[in-house]
Structure 1
Amino acid sequence: MGTGLLDIIILGAIAAFLVLRLRSVLGKRTGHQGGREYDPFHQEQMRRRQEQARGRGEQGGEPSGEEDKVVHLPDSRGDAGREEAAPDYGDRPGAAGLTRIKLADREFDPDQFVQGARAAFEMIVGAFAQGDAKTLRPLLSDDVYSDFAGAIEQRREAGERLETTLVGIKSADIVDADLRGKTAFVTVKFVSEQVNVTYDEEGRVVDGDPSEVETITDIWTFARNTSSRDPNWSLVATAAPN
């Protein structure tokens, strides 16, 4: 066998060896990839965790390699078992209750809650006027839903329809808050401008004035189980100001 042919055989063997080594490394799956379909919800959770980790790194420095291997589980004292300072809501109404709710639910924020309450108010007022019980059902407690559904049914039996135009919400303010067991209760005072007109089957006005904008005050109480994964609140009570 010639020297040239021997060199070719040796080089070919080396190339084959390198190819096998590369395939063994590049073709390897790690973690939970094997046999798992792409899960957008899992990816979103991972993205949020990465953002939170980056936020902690910016506040307290980059974590060490050993810390990267530790999975911190939140407990009632706060993230990673650290004692969480009680928030100070000053002299705002319901401050003590807001503090208890915040300690029970780290994600609770009074200002964000009010934004959600305003959106719920608009949705509930609109759905009630339209007689849309399906939309109302998940937003209301059983007792409140029963009252709303009963009023919708009475209107339907009388052949009447209600038209409500929510001109705007002038204000929405927390006036009370409490934590009873694991259930949080937050009461909001809404002051809104509305046009409410009830028509009969013939289209005649039986109540209200289509040209009159009324200023209406509603006091609504929302509740949520702070131990639940469901972030939604339910309307559990409605009242008029004294």
Structure 2
Amino acid sequence: MLFIVLLAMVAGFLALRLYSVLGKRTGHEQPLPKPAEERVAMPQPQRPVDQPADLREPAQRLMEPQAERGMRAIIDADARFDAAQFLTGARSAYSMILDAYWKGDRETLTWLVEDDVREGFDAAIADREAAGHVLDNRVVAIENAVITDARVESGVAEITVRFDADIAAVTRDKEGNVVAGSLSDAVQTHDIWTFSRRLRSDDPNWKLSETDEA
């Protein structure tokens, strides 16, 4: 599905901004980087010395107990990592990736998801296009996002997040007629997404590496 140049530029800017935010500490006082700068891995400040490494308090707000050990391992391997910032970015990623999938925006998906996930999305998009269907979906609200698992294996960090969201979904045909769904009635969804990143890589960005339903 092709978009006009302006929309493609806007989508590209937003995707690259999101692509660099997962797990990175940022300050509200910092100006937004220019688009060209967003392709470069920016240096990240270290955890403040007065911030304890203990995860008991964040675990109450951000994660389930079984994820605590894995989160400790990730922080031990990367002192720049911040769980709260990661979860904020994961919420944005959830909406952005779904929006790209619904619109058939393969280019944005390439930036944000690993190859295996992208191939699955691409196949579903191709089937939809072959049927002449267009999705008119939107995320109404993300009611909850919590880290359910985390691990470091062979130098790769993986963090699993459960999203509980309300989504309005409509499928239309080529003429714009509604085939299924309704924009007035949001559907509750429960998705489990895993994001991954190679810790020793100079690239600080995370990508969606696995999807499932709760």
Q: Do both proteins adopt the same fold according to a TM-score greater than 0.5, normalized to the shorter chain?
A: yes
Matches within 5 A, 1:47-58: none
* Separation of aligned partners in 1, 2:139 and 2:213: 18
Paired residue for 2:102? Answer: 129
* Separation of aligned partners in 1, 2:95 and 2:52: 32
Contact kept? 1:86, 1:99, Cα under 8 Å: no
Are 1:225 and 2:198 counterparts? yes
Secondary structure of 2:185 counterpart: coil
Once the two structures are TM-superposed, the CA of residue 236 in structure 1 deviates from its matched residue by 0.6
Matches within 5 A, 1:7-46: none
Paired residue for 1:80? Answer: none
Paired residue for 1:110? Answer: 83
Residues 1:86 and 1:100: Cα distance change in structure 2 (over 3 Å) = farther
Contact kept? 1:93, 1:174, Cα under 8 Å: no
Q: Which of 25, 45, 54 in structure 2 is aligned with 1:88?
A: 54
Identity over aligned pairs, percent? 39
Deviations, residues 11-67 of structure 1 (Å, cap 9, x unaligned): xxxxxxxxxxxxxxxxxxxxxxxxxxxxxx8xxxxxx89x98xx88xx8xxxxxxxx
* Separation of aligned partners in 1, 2:83 and 2:176: 43
Paired residue for 1:203? Answer: 176
- State the superposition RMSD in angstroms: 2.4
Q: Which of 104, 126, 146 in structure 2 is aligned with 1:153?
A: 126
Once the two structures are TM-superposed, the CA of residue 88 in structure 1 deviates from its matched residue by 2.2
Secondary structure of 2:201 counterpart: coil
Q: Which one has a larger percent helix, Structure 1 or Structure 2?
A: 1
Contact kept? 2:191, 2:212, Cα under 8 Å: yes
Paired residue for 2:139? Answer: 166
Contact kept? 2:137, 2:183, Cα under 8 Å: no
**RCO comparison, higher one (Cα < 8 Å, 6+):** 2
Once the two structures are TM-superposed, the CA of residue 207 in structure 1 deviates from its matched residue by 2.0
* Separation of aligned partners in 2, 1:213 and 1:202: 23
Are 1:120 and 2:86 counterparts? no
Residues 1:183 and 1:209: Cα distance change in structure 2 (over 3 Å) = same
* Separation of aligned partners in 2, 1:96 and 1:86: 16
* Structure 1 portions without partners, runs of 5+: 1-40, 42-47, 60-84
Q: Which of 102, 116, 131 in structure 2 is aligned with 1:143?
A: 116
Paired residue for 1:99? Answer: 72
* Separation of aligned partners in 1, 2:154 and 2:76: 13
Deviations, residues 147-203 of structure 1 (Å, cap 9, x unaligned): 001111111111110011111111111000000021000000011111011111232
* Separation of aligned partners in 2, 1:113 and 1:165: 23
Q: Which runs of 4+ in 1 moved over 6 A?
A: none
Deviations, residues 69-111 of structure 1 (Å, cap 9, x unaligned): xxxxxxxxxxxxxxxx993223634100001111111111111
* Structure 2 portions without partners, runs of 5+: 1-36, 38-42, 60-64
* Separation of aligned partners in 1, 2:76 and 2:53: 8
* Separation of aligned partners in 1, 2:110 and 2:52: 35
Secondary structure of 1:228 counterpart: coil
* Separation of aligned partners in 2, 1:143 and 1:134: 15
Secondary structure of 1:137 counterpart: helix
* Separation of aligned partners in 1, 2:83 and 2:183: 36
Secondary structure of 1:107 counterpart: coil
